[in-house]
Amino acid sequence: MAQSLTVPDTRPSLASSAKDAPGGRARLAFAGGLVLAPVALGLWALAVWVGASVSGWGYVAGLLLLSAGLLSRSRRWLGRAGLALLLLVGSTRLVLARGTHLDTLHLPAGGHRWVNRLVDERDGTLLAAHVLLLTRRLPRSDTREFVRALEAAFERMGAEEGLVATPAIATYLGLQSPESFDALVVSPEGQEKTDTAVVFLHGFAGNFAVYCWQMAQAVRSISALTVCPSVGPAGDWWAPQGARTLEATYAWLAARGIRRVYLGGLSNGAVGATLLVHRVAPAGLELLGLILVAGAETAAAAPGVPTLMVQGRTDTMMPTASMRAFSRRLGGGATYVETEGGHFAFLDHAEECRSAISTWLLQRERAARPPLQPQGATPRRRDAR
């Protein structure tokens, strides 16, 4: 008589699978916590070091809570609280980081890149400044007051503008191109329409709202628009993409009704402005002058327009002696202003630089637009001296 053989069923039962699933999820959560916790602690240490913004501390606290919840089975609510805090901080910045007069626009199409609103520019900029000083990538002679001046500039901007977006995020994500770039735009106070703009080219490390806002404080004196377009982190405006980005900026301004423009730049941006003043014709715009802060291409041909140079006396990164020589070569077409400080005098001695730029712009505007004499008034005679 044949015997039947039975083969044991080795497949896991549904019941055992159901029992194992929570354990697998717990192990996965614990592993995630092991990865996230050192990152969160590292960011906490950096936040203490640089004195993070409110949103920066919010992100750090959220990550710490999330990692604690992942590591503890009995306190999973900590993870949920951390995730909720991260979402709250991010959504708050997405809604509120719009500035009062300063806006970060996505050109040439218009609109905004929402990613630029997620992080406070202050946190990343101060961290980079501390790292550059610690690693001695910046000359000590140029940076004695740099960090304090940077902190003070962010405080001034924050008090006036509130939360703002920064093109630095898109820059370091590699999103800037002549066909699609961010520009910081600062509107004049109390005036909806203007036909004049100052285009200010950023320097090495990228386009930062704090520098553009600082320039806009000087531009206020002539009630003009301040526009700061973006290229890559190197600030290489002399490269083909720099020229094309400036062309696109000019075209965008002309489409907005701007008819008169000043071109300026900071550090590498000033080098670029010295070169691009010859290479890029502002189609439909009248170029009124050049503003060079902490830099110039000293081998370039004379700009052919009135030029202001603002230079720190002890600048070693763009040597002051070379800037003086370039100014002398330009002769009567140049106004040269030397302040205390080094390469970062634009922030270290912000009021001196603001006053120099503001005064020069007012002089240029008065020369270009002399006040009208009332009908029937007799012109005043100048004393012959």
- Residues 343 and 237 reside in one and the same domain: yes
- Residues 196 and 300 reside in one and the same domain: yes
- Residues 90 and 144 reside in one and the same domain: no
- Residues 131 and 214 reside in one and the same domain: yes
- Residues 44 and 131 reside in one and the same domain: no
Q: What is the pLDDT of residue 370?
A: 75
Could you give the CA distance from residue 273 to residue 280 in angstroms, rounded to a whole number?
10
In a domain, residue 224? The reply is: yes
Cis, bond preceding 108 (omega within 30 deg of 0):
yes
Give the total number of structural domains in the chain: 2
What is the domain range of residue 44? 24-96
User: Which among 249, 267, 254 is positioned nearest to 208, based on CA atoms?
Assistant: 267
The b/e string for 258-270 (b: 16+ C-beta within 10 A; e otherwise) is bebbbbbbbbbbb
From first to last of its 385 residues, the chain has per-residue pLDDT tens of 445 555 555 555 544 444 455 677 888 989 999 999 999 999 999 999 999 999 999 999 999 999 999 998 888 899 999 999 999 999 999 999 999 999 999 999 989 999 999 999 999 999 999 999 999 999 999 999 999 999 999 999 999 999 999 999 999 999 999 999 999 999 998 766 899 999 999 999 999 999 999 999 999 999 999 999 999 999 999 999 999 999 999 999 999 999 999 999 999 999 999 999 999 988 889 999 999 999 999 999 999 999 999 999 999 999 999 999 999 999 999 999 999 999 999 999 999 999 999 999 999 999 988 765 555 544 443 333 3
**pTM score:** 0.90
Q: What is the pLDDT of residue 22?
A: 65
- Residues 171 and 286 reside in one and the same domain: yes
In a domain, residue 15? The reply is: no
Could you give the CA distance from residue 223 to residue 211 in angstroms, rounded to a whole number?
18
- Residues 314 and 210 reside in one and the same domain: yes
Q: What is the pLDDT of residue 369?
A: 80
In a domain, residue 360? The reply is: yes
In a domain, residue 238? The reply is: yes
Q: What is the pLDDT of residue 379?
A: 42
Q: Rounded to the nearest 5°, which phi and psi values hold at 20?
A: -75, -25
- Residues 30 and 78 reside in one and the same domain: yes
Could you give the CA distance from residue 230 to residue 211 in angstroms, rounded to a whole number?
12
Domain termination site, one of 75, 96, 117: 96
Three-state secondary-structure class, residue 274:
helix
- Residues 299 and 201 reside in one and the same domain: yes
Domain CATH code at residue 108: 3.40.50.1820
Tokens encoding 132: 């550059």
In a domain, residue 189? The reply is: yes
Q: What is the pLDDT of residue 161?
A: 97
Tokens encoding 144: 């004695």
In a domain, residue 220? The reply is: yes
- Residues 90 and 116 reside in one and the same domain: no
Domain termination site, one of 43, 65, 96: 96
162: left (phi over 0), alpha (psi -120 to 50) or beta: left
- Residues 179 and 51 reside in one and the same domain: no
Three-state secondary-structure class, residue 322:
helix
- Residues 75 and 136 reside in one and the same domain: no
Domain termination site, one of 72, 96, 120: 96
Q: Which residues contact 316 (CB under 8 A, 6 or more apart)?
A: 139, 141, 142, 342, 343
